[in-house]
Amino acid sequence: ANNAGGVGNINNENSATDPKNLRVKLVLLGDSGVGKSCIVLRFVRGQFDPTSKVTVGASFLSQTLALEDSTTVKFEIWDTAGQERYAALAPLYYRGAGAAIVVYDITSPESFNKAQYWVKELQKHGSPDMIMALVGNKADLNDNRSVSSQDAQEYAERNSMFFIETSAKTADNINQLFEEIAKRLPRPTPS
């Protein structure tokens, strides 16, 4: 069940200590045009609207996901807002991130190359226990595919990521993407 989408303020804390109500900072990376904003909009608002940009400089969108074990996970989703151009901001962007989504477009080999660059950046700046997802978006454009699922899957495995192909346009695998991240998050032990 999805609910309670909205815009929040900057907060660098990683996750709450309540084991039933988790909170995670999630960062989005990938070439411009691969569909990062559309994936977030599909997840948060349940719609596909290519004209609306969610990319916002100093705030993020949040969305709470309820899992079957009655745990809830509140995602605080940070879009890059073009900040990848400003190397000095990278540590701020990655700080406290418990999960990352690296997106490419299955019709664009360049975007897959760029995704591999972002994975290296994450490995350099991010926390070693960060949950990382490799996402091949625009799966509805399968007729124009130029990145094979197998290559992407193998790359993901070598880099301890999980791999999924999505379509923000048709909603295919969008909720599954966030559910997979939620399931993999470490559960804090109650003190």
Report the interface residues with ligand GDP, using CB under 6 A.
Answer: 30, 32-38, 50, 137-138, 140-141, 167-169
Tokens read off for 62: 């949040």
**Residues β-bridged to residue 134:** 102, 163
In the complex, least distance from residue 135 CB atom to ligand GDP, rounded to whole angstroms: 10
Q: Which is nearer to ligand GDP, 161 or 174 (CB)?
A: 174
Q: Which is nearer to ligand GDP, 17 or 52 (CB)?
A: 52
Shortest reach from residue 176's CB to ligand GDP, in Å = 14
Question: Least distance (Å) from ligand GDP to the CB of residue 107?
Answer: 9
Pick 51 or 191: Cβ nearer ligand GDP: 51
**Rounded to an integer, what distance in angstroms lies between the CA atom of residue 142 and that of residue 39?**
17
DSSP state of 94: H
Per-residue exposure over 132-170, b if at least 16 CB sit within 10 Å of its own CB, e if not: bbbbbbbbbeeeebebeeeebbebbeebebbbbbbbbbe
Half-sphere exposure of residue 155, counting CA atoms within 13 Å on the CB side? 23
**Complex with ligand GDP: residue 65 or 101, whichever CB lies closer:** 101
Q: CB of residue 47 vs ligand GDP: minimum separation in angstroms?
A: 12
